[in-house]
Structure formats: structure tokens, C-alpha cells
Amino acid sequence: MIVYDFDSLIGINRSEGTSSMGRSTNLSLINQNIYTHIKDKFQNTHIQSGSISQNDTIIETEEKWSVMVIRDPFLLRQFCDDVRFTRSRSQIEEEEAEMRRANQRIKCVQCDDFYIEQENKMGVCAHHDGFVYDNHSSNVEHWTQRAAIEQLLKEEADAVRQPHNALLTSEQKEQLERQKQRFKFICCNRTVQAAGLTNGCKRGQHCQPNVTLDQWERACDQNNEYQQKLCDLLRRRIQ
């Protein structure tokens, strides 16, 4: 019996690219020649049944075993397909479900963008991990990121609905522009834009699929470091 560790002997080459269809990941075998050799060995394994000779002596059974240890899902599927290895229905369904998960578009609540699991690497998600405060309020009013953006959008819509004959003075226009700049991220003090959470100050991985927007905002609100930063900001203004 020979035991082959496919992941160590063969290996997988992963290359990423960007096209008009978005980012893609291509997988290929590194040691193709070794893969072909092991595959042939596996297909030539056999068990030869024993037989009885003329003097009633039983000839021992000859067995040739090949055991494949494969952890990489792509390598496992490739090998099973090439040798036409019989798989159970549950294994086939599990592989199909895994393929669907790998290609499923998931919305990240941190950056409000979509991603697929195989592209979720460190540094691809730019986001703000702190809550928002109103820099114009006397008590440094605390807002969630979502609520602050919704408020800015509402004020923008209200301004558009003003009567055409209600002309604003240059001072009033300046006041409105300053009002738009009042919301700041506690994590970096950048101004919140009504367009959304672009150019985040933190970079990391996208959130897990089971994380909701409410859970993410709660984590931002309960960050002890940022809570202390807000208290220090308020204290300095009172003094």
C-alpha cells in the first residue's frame, strides 16, 4: 500500500486577475507530471483473488492499494473527476453547495460592497469602524453611520424642494454648506459624505455573511476606545 499526500506532492497554483466581469481566480496543478503518474498508479491498483493449486495449496491474494490524502477542495474534485471515482449522493450535494457558496455574491455591511468568499482577503475592505458624532452640537451628539447618512440625504432633498422664489443669500448658502460638514467619524474625524462610506480609514477583510448591519453598528457604537475618545472630546469643549 502506498499513501500519497496530494496537497504536498502536487500543489495548487492560484492566480488572480481583473477583467470587465470583475475579479477572478484561476486554479491549476503545479506538478502535472507527478499528478499524472500517481493517477495512473491509482487506476492500476487491483486485488487478485486467491486460487487453489493441484496440491490443494491456496495461493495468497495479491493486493495493490493506493491511498490518496487530499484536503484542497479543487484538487479533490479534479482527481475524482479524472479517475471517475464513485462518490455518494451526499458528497455530490455537499460539493455543489460549496461551489454555490464560493460563487455567491455577499454584501459586506462594513463597506456596503459585494464580494465572493474566495476573494475575501486582507486589505480588500475599506471601512470606518467607529460611530459618527455631530461636531456642531454642544453635547457632541452621537449617531450611527447609517442614521447620519440618512439625515444628510433628507436635508439635501428638503433643500431641493424649496420654492424657486425663495432665493438664499450667500450667507445662508454658506451656512447650509457648513451644516453638511458637521458629521464626523469618531475613528478618524473625517467628514461623513451623503454619497456613502467611501475611502474608509481601516482596511481588512469583508465581514462574514451572517453579520447584519445592526450587529455591525452595535459593534461600532460599543467600541470602548472610541467611547473614551468621544468623552475626551466633550470634556475639552466644556473646559
Evaluate whether 10 touches 30 at the Cβ level (below 8 Å): yes
Residue 135: per-residue pLDDT: 93
Residue 126: per-residue pLDDT: 92
Amino acid letter at 217? E
Least Cα distance to 183 among 138, 159, 204, 152 occurs for 152
Q: Locate all alpha helices (DSSP H) within the chain, ordered by sequence.
A: 6-9, 32-43, 73-83, 89-103, 145-160, 170-180, 213-221, 224-238
Residue 215: per-residue pLDDT: 93
Q: How far apart are CA 214 and CA 28, in angstroms?
A: 40
Residue 157: per-residue pLDDT: 85
Residue 201: per-residue pLDDT: 92
Residue ranges, the chain, pLDDT below 50: 20-21
Q: Is residue 10 within a helix (H) or strand (E), and if so which, with residue range?
A: none
Residue 48: per-residue pLDDT: 57
- The CA dihedral of 228, 231, 237, 239, to the nearest 10 degrees, is -100
